[in-house]
Structure formats: C-alpha cells, structure tokens
C-alpha cells in the first residue's frame, strides 16, 4: 500500500468515541474517510467543514449485510478503493446472565459479532478483488472483554470473545498474496461516552442485587465518572500508527488494565496446562503416535 498518498478509510460507528475521534484525526492528516453510522446528521459539522472529495458520510446499520455491502460499494464508486477499515461499531451491555433476556442478549451479539463479521467479509473482498495493488488493513475493535470474562458482563464478553475467535481464524485463512493485514484493538477503560450513550441497561435480577455481589460491584465501578482514565484521542493516534507498520501485531492491547489481564491469563493457562497435562495420558487409540 502506498502510504505517501491519501488513504481511503472506512470507519463504522463514526458518531462518537473512537469512531468520531478517528474520523477527525484522519481528516486532519489529509486522508479520505467513508464515515458510517446510524444517524448521519450527527456528523453535520464535519460534512460542513470538509468537501465530498474528502469525507463521505453514509447511514449504516452493520447488522444488515446488504447495507454493509452497499456502503463499501458507494465508497468504491466515490474513491475507487478502500485501504483501511476501522471495524469499530459496537454495543455495550452490563448485567448478569440471569438479568438479561434472550432478545437483549442477541441484540448485542448481532452488533458486536455479526455486524463486525459482515464488515470483515466485505473488507477482505475489497482488499483482494478491488484494490490495485491488492491489499488493505483491517482494524477490529475488540476489548479487554475479548480476553477475559468479568461479572455482569457475560453477553458483551461472549460477543467480543466470538469476534476474537473469528478474527484469529480468518487471519490464518488468508493468502499472503492478498496482502491483507489484520489487527485486533483491545482497549481498556477509556473516557468515552459508551457508559452514557451506548450502553444497554437492564433490571438487575433480585438474586444478584446484594451490593457485595461481584456484579453489583462492577456496575458500581462502571458508573463512576473517574473510572475510565484512558484518553481516547491519544488512543486513536496509536491505532492509526499501527496501520503504517509493515508487520503489524495480531493483537494490540491498549491500557495497563489490558496488559495485566493478558499476562495474568497467559500465566493461568500455562499453569492449567502444567497441572492437568497428565490427565491426557493414555486416552489415545492404540497404534496412534500421539
């Protein structure tokens, strides 16, 4: 990819937080942005400040595969290619498993997993079949929840684990000739609007209402204004830098909370393998080499 000329980015969830900050950063740097979101009017200030040759704002519901396809096609029609995809649209849900009804739980999976899957499919297709030369960068916005579980977070965590499993598998499916580079962004607590405007609130199940219960503690912590200490503007600057690396990481943990969680989980997995390794002795078919 020629990074000396303006690159064409497609950003999902561009209305607020990482999506909005990334869109503003890219425009400032001179890149071209296809900004997608459910309510295009939210970006009216940006459309007024930038010509259509630099910014294309499209209405998009990522849970609808045809809309995702059409958004990519409109971007290609306008700019001829899509170099980088910031797969950022997401929905937060806080509540214990028994506090969340199936419809609400599925809604989170539809956005965080299936929506991201639709975008991933289209990105790979465009990188391989439309871009000339072939190639592109796909940034999957995951979370600390994509690495470890947490109380009052079961459905959101499941959606991000699913996205990470999908992405790790897809990264191994691609031909090197396609020149597609994928990185999962794993943010910790950043001071964004997600806890105020992009969260689904549910009625807590009575069995978990005791303030000393782990889920209640998480809900209390998440409601504190001083809890998120990460700067989202600084975060998107780091994320943008990753797209210039020749050999980007599959995972980019962003925040000390995530670094600690990653190391703790790696240690726990190694400990489990060491402690229970012998339980796999003698379980193999006679004559096999296992």
What is the gyration radius of the CA atoms in the chain, in angstroms? 21
Residue 97 counted as domain residue: no
Instruction: Give me the CATH number covering residue 260.
Output: 3.40.50.720
- Would you state the pLDDT for residue 196? 61
Within 8 A by CB and 6+ apart from 134, the residues are 127, 128, 177, 178, 179
Residue 264 counted as domain residue: yes
Any idea which residues carry the catalytic annotation? 142, 156, 160
Residue 246 counted as domain residue: yes
Within 8 A by CB and 6+ apart from 172, the residues are none
- Would you state the pLDDT for residue 200? 83
Secondary structure element (H or E) that encloses residue 45, with its range: helix 44-49
How many angstroms from the chain centroid is the CA of residue 201?
A: 21
Residue 120 counted as domain residue: yes
Residue 215 counted as domain residue: no
**Which residue range forms the structural domain that includes residue 20?**
8-92+102-194+229-277
Residue 139 counted as domain residue: yes
The residue among 110, 19, 119, 13 whose CA lies nearest residue 72 is 119
Residue 219 counted as domain residue: no
Q: Into how many domains does the chain fold? A: 1
Q: List the chain pLDDT tens, one digit each, 290 residues.
A: 555 799 999 999 999 999 999 999 999 999 999 999 999 999 999 999 999 999 999 999 999 999 999 999 999 999 999 999 999 999 999 999 999 999 999 999 999 999 999 999 999 999 999 999 999 999 999 999 999 999 999 999 999 999 999 999 999 999 999 999 999 999 998 887 766 666 787 888 999 988 888 888 887 776 665 667 899 999 999 999 999 999 999 999 999 999 999 999 999 999 999 999 999 999 999 988 76
Residue 218 counted as domain residue: no
- Would you state the pLDDT for residue 290? 66
């Amino acid at each position: 990819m020629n990074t000396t000329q303006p690159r064409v980015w497609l950003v999902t969830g561009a209305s607020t937080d990482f999506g909005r900050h990334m869109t503003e950063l890219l425009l400032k740097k001179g890149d071209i942005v296809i900004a997608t979101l459910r309510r295009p009017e939210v970006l009216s200030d940006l459309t007024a400040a930038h010509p259509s040759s630099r910014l294309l704002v499209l209405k998009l519901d990522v849970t609808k595969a045809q809309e995702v396809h059409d958004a990519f096609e409109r971007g290609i029609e306008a700019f001829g290619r899509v170099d980088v995809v910031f797969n950022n649209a997401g929905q937060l849900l806080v509540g214990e498993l028994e506090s969340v009804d199936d419809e609400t739980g599925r809604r989170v999976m539809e956005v965080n997993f299936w929506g991201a899957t639709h975008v991933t499919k289209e990105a790979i297709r465009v990188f391989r079949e439309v871009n000339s030369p072939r190639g592109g960068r796909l940034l999957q916005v995951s979370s600390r929840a994509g690495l470890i579980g947490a109380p009052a977070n079961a459905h959101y965590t499941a959606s991000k684990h699913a996205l990470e499993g999908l992405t790790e598998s897809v990264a191994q499916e691609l031909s090197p000739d396609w020149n597609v580079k994928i990185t999962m962004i794993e943010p910790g607590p950043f001071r964004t609007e997600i806890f105020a405007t992009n969260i689904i609130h549910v009625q807590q199940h009575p069995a978990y209402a005791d303030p000393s219960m782990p889920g209640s503690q998480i809900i209390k912590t998440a409601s504190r204004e001083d809890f998120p200490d990460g700067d989202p503007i600084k975060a998107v600057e780091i994320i943008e830098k990753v797209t210039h690396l020749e050999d980007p990481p599959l995972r980019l943990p962003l925040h000390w909370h995530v670094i600690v969680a990653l190391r703790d989980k790696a240690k726990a997995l190694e400990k489990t393998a060491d402690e229970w390794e012998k339980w796999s002795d003698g379980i193999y078919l006679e004559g096999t080499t296992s």
